[in-house]
Chains A and B, each alone.
Chain A
Amino acid sequence: MSTELFFQYIAAGLTYGFIYAIVAIGFNIIYNTTGIINFAQGEFVMLGSMTAITLNAFMPLPLAILLSVLITMIVGAIMEMLFFRWLESPTVLRMIIITIGLSIIIREIALAIWGENVRALPYFTGNEVTSVSIFGAHISPQVLWVIGICSIVVVALQMFFKFTRYGRQMRACAANREAARLCGINAKNMVTLSFVLSAGIGALAGCVVSPITYSQYNMGVPLAIKGFTVAILGGLGNSMAAVAGGLVLGILESFSVWIMPSAYKDAISIAILLLILFFRPGGLFGRKEELALKEF
């Protein structure tokens, strides 16, 4: 394999890897405060990109993206307040099934609004044929946008959880919900906040990736599967592990095209998911003891 081709694959792998990582972090944020997997996570990505595409017809691109992220965050908040907040000590399984139901509803609503058409946001800089040359590989500037924005999101989230009051309160809820309440932390608000955050980063990921992958009402489904694989691969609940897991999966997928027909690309993530569940159910970076404490 030539060096140029090698870097071409790496760049493609990083692009998808970061998107998977963002979706996985979305899973993790909600998992940490509630103990559930939000299967509507992929729908946040879809809502973000579809809304931005619609809004972009009326306003400049940055404003459209900003607004669509805000709208998706509001959808996340409403979703949590309508379907989860008032439940009296619900079981994990019950909440997970609610998220599955919600994902179907959101998808159907999106189908009713936008139809089956495949759309896309314009390239942030240049167009389909613009490319920058890095180590001899021709890389679309949009790839750099994806990698850049996703890295910023990851770093910003880490800062939020470490240095802000609400971030620390969310971590406290994740570590020990009852003790957090005894400290005067409103755990229910933290759950709402976790839905808002997940929706926001999902929507942003949907916007930056839209020019490359295109957007459609059902784009969330494969992303949710990949993101879920990555979350499991890294170890549920651990956001930095999700980034590592995402990059691993993205790069594996991209190099798989070299030895297998690209139709098998999606099989890789499913195969990895199964292997991890069989042999390392705590994830690559998870520990057995932690797994024993998890409800799901």
Chain B
Amino acid sequence: MLRIRNIEAGYGSIRVLRKVSLHVNPGEIVTIIGANGAGKTTLLKAVSGLLKTTSGEIRFKGNDITNIPAERLVSLGCVLVPEGRQVFSTMTVKENLMLGATVRYRRDGKETIEKDLERIYNLFPRLAERQGQLAGTLSGGEQQMLAIGRALMSGAELIMMDEPSMGLAPVIVKEIFKTISELRNEGKTVLLVEQNARAALSISDRGYVIETGRIVLQGPAEDLLENRDVQRAYLGRDLDAEVEL
């Protein structure tokens, strides 16, 4: 569904991504894990068109989407839930959700969109209770639900999420990850970027490990969870202490 080949990107003269290649198949949840500053967010920004790539190629459903303007990618069926939620804080929950459907007004008409709004409210009943409230007054977890809901309103098939668990209480994180795995059951494809490697890998089909702008490891999620290097670096397991003498 998504195929990234040898892309490079960065900010000004700083090169962040170095020849990154990866692919996402339809119906998969794929996680990219890596430390702070490894290039995870940069990668999603480059795919979503917020950041220009300097070389390489990105294809989505066979279309070349390298350096496509961000606002056009959404109508092709690929959407990003950005880092830090980025809800429209001065607008109501409902307005936020309806803005997510911007690209569909001409295509689908109002009724389908209203129906989808109901679906989002079923997925996140808390948003239904607060539909008239300003998004800026929601809690962090609710804002994350809103950001995901807004992205889903675009009707996209591929949903990219940048650190959905960032800064949230463990119980909320659990709820968010549960929702993400439910998305797969609805036929959506998810590309996830996470620091919370254990939780993310446990709901994923496959994973990539990114280090200083390079993909250093990839494979099925279970294998990565078992991998000693991954365990040491990202899963917080102290292997040396466990070594039996």
Contact residues on A (Cβ < 8 Å of other chain), bracket = 10 to 19
Instruction: Report yes or no: B86 in contact with A181, Cβ–Cβ below 8 A.
Output: no
Q: Which of B50, B72, B90, B102 contacts A183 (CB 8 A)?
A: B102
Q: Which residues of B contact A165 (CB under 8 A)?
A: 105
Query: Is B98 a contact partner of A176 (Cβ separation < 8 A)?
Result: no
Q: Could you tell me if A168 and B95 are in contact, using CB atoms closer than 8 angstroms?
A: yes
Chain A residues 171-218 with CB under 8 Å of chain B are 171-172, 174-176, 178-187
Q: Which residues of A contact B103 (CB under 8 A)?
A: 183-184
Chain B interface extent, by class: 20 to 34
Cross-chain contact B86 with A179 (CB below 8 angstroms): yes
Contact with A175, one of B70, B88, B98, B105 (Cβ below 8 angstroms): B88
Please indicate the chain A residues that have their CB under 8 angstroms from the CB of B122 in the complex: none
Judging by beta carbons under 8 Å apart, are B91 and A168 in contact? yes
Residue of B nearest to A174 (CB): B90
A169 touches B (CB below 8 Å):
yes
Contacts of A183 in B (CB 8 A): 71, 74, 99-100, 102-103, 150, 154
Asked if B87 is an interface residue, CB under 8 A from chain A, the answer is yes
Q: Contacts A168-B95, A184-B71 given; indicate if A178 touches B82 (C-beta within 8 A).
A: yes
Contact B91 A181 (CB under 8 A): no
Least Cβ–Cβ distance between B38 and chain A, in angstroms:
21
Q: Are B88 and A182 in contact (CB under 8 A)?
A: no
Q: Are A175 and B71 in contact (CB under 8 A)?
A: no
Chain A contact residues, majority secondary structure: helix
Which partner residue on chain B sits nearest A290 by CB separation? B90
CA of A172 to CA of B98, assembled, Å? 11
Q: Is A181 in contact with B71, judged by CB distance below 8 angstroms?
A: yes
A175 to B88, CA, bound (A): 5
In contact, A179 and B102 (Cβ under 8 angstroms): no
Instruction: Verify A182–B91 contact, CB threshold 8 A.
Output: no
Considering the chains assembled together, what is the distance between the CA atoms of A182 and B83 in angstroms? 12
User: In the complex, what's the smallest C-beta–C-beta distance from B147 to chain A, in angstroms?
Assistant: 8
- Knowing A168-B99, A171-B90, A175-B90, say if A182 contacts B75 (CB, 8 Å): no
Give the CA-CA distance A165 to B102 in the complex, in Å.
9
Whether the Cβ atoms of A186 and B71 lie closer than 8 Å is yes
B204 within 8 A of A: no
25 A-B residue pairs with Cβ-Cβ distance under 8 Å, sorted by A, are: A169-B99, A169-B102, A171-B90, A171-B91, A172-B91, A174-B90, A175-B89, A176-B88, A176-B89, A178-B86, A179-B82, A179-B86, A179-B87, A179-B88, A180-B99, A182-B48, A182-B50, A182-B70, A182-B80, A183-B99, A183-B100, A184-B71, A184-B72, A184-B74, A184-B75
Which A residues are within 8 Å of any B CB, using their own CB? 165, 168-169, 171-172, 174-176, 178-187
